[in-house]
Each structure stands twice: as structure tokens, then as C-alpha cells.
Chain A
Amino acid sequence: GQQLNQSPQSMFIQEGEDVSMNCTSSSIFNTWLWYKQDPGEGPVLLIALYKAGELTSNGRLTAQFGITRKDSFLNISASIPSDVGIYFCAGLAYSGAGSYQLTFGKGTKLSVIP
């Protein structure tokens, strides 16, 4: 099946620093999504990317859909303590019979040092 390689696996940064994480795939996706998950909670959608080459921002977050449709990155600028959590990339692809399925990366655990 499709697999996403997400890196880094975890990172520790100082408050105020910028953060970058990315996902690559051997398969093409129609849509790339970035989610954040806090402990004991469900993932929350941060950014959705629909077109190859698309660059989208949501506050301090910026994400891009790679031109080959096989990769995406997420940047967080000027990190703050509440950015702590696990960030997942997810690729959306048609799975047949009118359904679309998400394939998740393994997540990037972000820790912010005040």
C-alpha cells in the first residue's frame, strides 16, 4: 500500500524558533493535509493543499504541495509553547467506489522549550 515518510520523527526547539517538517511518498496524492494531535485528542486539521505547487498559510503555519504531488512540507514560524504536539501529514487519494482515503505519515513530535 501507499506509505508516507515523515521527518523528522521528533524535534526539540527553543521558543521563537522556526520549525520545518516534511513528508515524501512514492505515490501521487490528490490532496495533502496537515493535522496536529494533542495527547488524548483526535487530530485537528491545520492546512489542506489541493494543487501541485500550492503554497498555503494559516497564521504562523505555511505548507506547500510539492510540484511532483509526492511531497509536502509544513513550516511553523516563531514557535510558541502551545505548538507542542504531534504533527501528521496525510495524503488523500481515490480508493475506488467513490471513496477517498487518507494515508498518514508516522508523525513529528514537536517539543518547544520556553
Chain B
Amino acid sequence: GAVVSQHPSWVICKSGTSVKIECRSLDFQATTMFWYRQFPKQSLMLMATSNEGSKATYEQGVEKDKFLINHASLTLSTLTVTSAHPEDSSFYICSATEAGTGGHEQYFGPGTRLTVT
């Protein structure tokens, strides 16, 4: 149980284009979904927290107009990197907490590697 998927696994795009990454909870409904970014050899850094049907809460220093988050249902959240630039190249990982269990453990997706050329 508690499986989270991400799509795509890997994407290469040209500078200036936008990229959408999907995060799905496959066998549970997610109260909250989180988006992290991880640079090589570093730990995970929280970008934003989103609850279904609400606006995402962004961490300090993360541009909400650049990283658009849509949490349309209890099983799907999307992150759109708008007008991507090479410095946005990173490993993006989502996580989700299961609704109704009272627990707050986060289950992570397999990550999406974004390379902007």
C-alpha cells in the first residue's frame, strides 16, 4: 500500500518552455501532497505543500508564479515549471500523506529528473 507515482520519470526541455509533472497516489487518497526539489548530493528541500481544492503554500524563496501547483483531486497533484531555465534542472520529488489514518507519514514518489538545456 501507499504507492505514489510520478510522470514523467525524466524530461529534457529547452530553456523557456514549460514542463508539467504529475504526482498520483495509486492506492490511497491523499490529504496533502508535497513537492520537493533535490540537487545532486544534497538533501530534499520542500518547495510547497498543497491540500486538495486549496491553494498551495510555498516555502520562502520559492516563486509561486514559476512553480504552479494544482491539486485537483485527492489522488492527483501537478507541478508546472513555467519558462524553465537551466538552473531549474533538478530532481523533483512529490510525497503524499494518506487521508483518514490520523498519521502524517509522507510516502514519496520515484522522482522526476528535469534537465533544461
Chain A interface residues toward B at CB < 8 A: 30-31, 33, 35, 40-45, 48, 88, 92, 95, 97-102, 104-107
Question: Which B79-103 residues have a C-beta within 8 angstroms of A?
Answer: 91, 93, 95, 97, 103
> Within the assembled complex, what's the spacing in Å between the Cα atoms of A95 and B103?
15
Which residues of B approach A to under 8 Å, CB–CB? 4, 6, 32, 34, 42-44, 46, 49, 51, 57, 91, 93, 95, 97, 103-111, 113
User: A43–B26 Cα gap in the complex (Å)?
Assistant: 17
Distance in angstroms from B20 CB to nearest chain A CB is 18
Are B46 and A99 within 8 A (Cβ)?
no
A84 shortest CB reach to chain B, Å: 15
User: When chains A and B are docked, how far (Å) is the Cα of A34 from the Cα of B91?
Assistant: 20
Least Cβ distance of B22 to chain A in Å?
14
**7 more A-B contacts (CB under 8 A) besides A99-B51, A104-B43, A106-B42?**
A95-B49, A101-B49, A102-B95, A102-B106, A105-B43, A106-B43, A107-B43
Complex CA–CA separation, A42 to B4 (angstroms) = 10
Q: Which residues of A contact B4 (CB under 8 A)?
A: 42
A99:B43 contact, CB within 8 angstroms:
no
Please indicate the chain B residues that have their CB under 8 angstroms from the CB of A99 in the complex.
32, 49, 51, 57
Which B residues touch A97, using CB under 8 A? 57
Q: CB-CB < 8 A to B109: which residues of A?
A: 42
